[in-house]
Structure 1
Amino acid sequence: MDVVRSRAFDFVETVRQLPDVASILDAMSRTLGQHGFDYFCSSYVAPLSTESPREAVLAERLPAGFLDMYSEAQYVWHDPALRYCRTTLQPFRWFREAPYDPEREPRAVELVRRARDFGMVDGVVIPVISPTGRTGQVWFGGAEIDLPERDLPALHLMALYAFDRVLKLRGLPAAPQHALSLREREVLTLAAVGRSSDEIADALAITRRTVKAHIKSCCKKLGAATRTQAVMIAMRDRIISP
């Protein structure tokens, strides 16, 4: 198991015991600081009609003054990364992969410039779906990110677990528990250590189609939107232990 993936599993075990949001942010810093991630934010992608932009933020460690500026300028309605979260569940590089039109979206251009003024030049966004169906995101950023693409799944796992733990600590609905069959637990355990569907099929002497069916069943039972989220929930609830 590579170093980043091992640290991701250690993070999951650590966060399980942490008593407050600040401790989660500290754990993120310890785990990811050496890769250039200095700032973190977990939020819903849009405030409800009864919320201010700040109230949609669940946890954050951002440069001093940035969140005040972001909220006062109402950038939440012009942020291309938040908009892109509504169209994908896959991790993406912050403004680099979130599409926007510089000519037609001057507020988006302004946001990118002002974020860089605060030292937030690069980042990775992990879209998430809350148990109530509300779209959210976990953002990891800094001035210079050094994380290979192959390690994004580990970051994805950390983000999903952190988001769910923050919901619990804030007294908001978190993912429910559901029983999995022995075979489903075997499939998720292999998925958790990075095995592909073909590799899982070979290891368990079943077809790739059957593997996908088990993953789909796990997602349905666990209330997960993706395979990675299903792994996170199963690890959190100690249904599996990679």
Structure 2
Amino acid sequence: MATRLDSTDPHADAARRPEQSLWAAVVLHAVRDAFDKGDAFRIELDRVEALRFLLTPRGAWAKSREHACYSAGVDPERLHEWALKVMDGKVDYGQPKEVQASRDLWAAINSPPRKAQPTQTRPPEGEPEEPSEPVSIPLPSVVETVGIFDVREDGTLYCPNDRALVGPSLPRENSQQGRVLRALTMKRGGTINALRKAHPKWEQLAVEVCRRLDLELTYRHDGHEVAAVVDAETKVFVRRRLLSPAA
């Protein structure tokens, strides 16, 4: 029978050290993702999750921070307070440019989503205009926010018009790839004409952006998902890559 490890077991501390070191590495990795330049494989989502892990005051992310910190032998409250001070500029850590990028990203994550503006239908030419109630176009159903993107129920990304396309892993907003990404994340998806206007080889650029950001392209025609562009009425979206279910 295996011996239970508890505080009375002289070998308990030694047995816990590898696990504690592992959790300490997890906490340190989150700090580096949030405030350091990171490696070439880091994507925007890594920084977003690291910021949520360090800064969220309550809820699932705060509980995750507490679990990781207690497992690593770190005080979660002190880590939380320290991260807030770094964001406020009261503590120097990391590279100033990266910390500022994290401040901008955190502000974007917490900015309220834009409300849909009411629109009014107009009668056909020649017919008298009748008073009518404003018709509001509903925004897509948003379930969470990742970086500057709102994520819809089906995983597609929507970038509100008042949020800039900025981030260390995102293409520059006015670059060819940036214009294509913006067209793909419009409220109703990317129209073929808008994408062609963004760049003649928009699909090639879109595939490159998706590969880098761990996204995937989806196509819809007449309300149904299709394998590729059918005609000019096909809408194109980017979606967070769906993880295959564990075997």
TM range (shorter): under 0.3
The TM-score with structure 2 as length reference comes to 0.24
The TM-score with structure 1 as length reference comes to 0.24
More helix by share: 1
Relative contact order (C-alpha < 8 Å, sep 6+): which is higher? 1
